[in-house]
Amino acid sequence: MEMWLKEAQIKDAAMTYKVKETLVRKKTNYQDLTIVDTEAFGRMLLLDGIVQTTIADEYVYHEMITHIALNTHPNPEKVLVVGGGDGGTIREILKHSSVQKAVLCEIDAEVIKECKKYLPEISCALEDERCEIFIGDGIKYVHEHKNEFDVIIVDSTDPFGAAEGLFGGSFYREISDCLTKGGIFVAQTESPFYLPDVVKRVYKDAKDVFPITKLFMAGIPTYPSGFWSFTMGSKKYDPENADISDKPELETKYYTKKLHKACFVLPKFVENLTC
Residue numbers annotated as active site: 155
Smallest separation, CB 261 to its own copies (Å): 8
For position 243 contacting its own copies by CB under 8 A, the verdict is: no
Of the candidate residues 47, 60, 82, 103, the single one contacting its own copies (CB under 8 A): 60
Residue ranges in 246-265 that form contacts with its own copies under rule CB under 8 A: 252-256, 258-259, 261-263, 265
Residues 114 and 32: their CA atoms lie apart, in Å, by 12
Is 55 exposed, middle or buried, given 0-12, 13-18 or 19+ CB atoms closer than 10 A? Answer: middle
Angle, CA 58 vertex, CA 60 and CA 3 arms, to 5°: 135
* Least distance in angstroms from the C-beta of 60 to its own copies: 7
Judge contact between 212 and 233, C-beta under 8 A: yes
| Nearest distance in Å: CB 19, its own copies | 9
Part of the chain binding its own copies (CB under 8 A), chosen from 5-13, 74-82, 86-94, 102-110 = 5-13
Task: Sort residue 87 into left (φ over 0), alpha (ψ -120 to 50) or beta.
Answer: left
**Which among 24-32, 81-89, 103-111, 223-231 is the span making contact with its own copies, rule CB under 8 A?**
223-231
How far, in whole angstroms, is CA 32 from its chain's centroid?
Answer: 19
Sequence-distant (6+) residues with CB within 8 A of 173 are: 209
DSSP-derived secondary structure letter, 246: T
- Can you list the pairs that 38-47 forms with residues at least 24 positions away whose Cβ atoms lie under 8 Å? 38/5, 41/17, 41/221, 41/222, 43/118, 43/119, 44/5, 44/17, 44/222, 45/86, 45/111, 45/114, 45/115, 45/119, 46/5, 46/7, 47/111, 47/157
Q: Does 95 bind its own copies (CB under 8 A)?
A: no
Q: Which is nearer to its own copies, 18 or 140 (CB)?
A: 18
Closest distance of CB 195 from its own copies, Å: 12
C-alpha to C-alpha distance for 145 and 214, rounded to whole angstroms: 25
Q: What mask of x and - would describe binding to its own copies in positions 13 to 42, judged by CB under 8 A?
A: xxxxxx-------------------xxxx-
Quote the CA–CA distance of 152 and 186 in Å, as a whole number.
7
| Cβ(3)–Cβ(25) below 8 Å | no
The answer to whether 187 and 230 have CB atoms below 8 angstroms apart is yes
Q: Which is nearer to its own copies, 149 or 223 (CB)?
A: 223
Of the candidate residues 42, 48, 226, 247, the single one contacting its own copies (CB under 8 A): 226
- For residue 27, the minimal CB distance to its own copies (Å) is 26
**Sole window of 88-96, 134-142, 158-166, 219-227 interacting with its own copies (rule: CB under 8 A):** 219-227
For the chain, the first-to-last Cα distance in angstroms comes to 51
Among 105, 195, 198, 217, binds its own copies (CB under 8 A): 217
Applying CB under 8 A, among 95, 128, 143, 194 the residue interacting with its own copies is 194
Q: Is residue 227 a contact point for its own copies (CB under 8 A)?
A: yes
Binding residues vs its own copies (CB under 8 A) = 6, 10-18, 38-41, 57, 60, 191, 193-194, 217-221, 223-227, 252-256, 258-259, 261-263, 265-269, 271
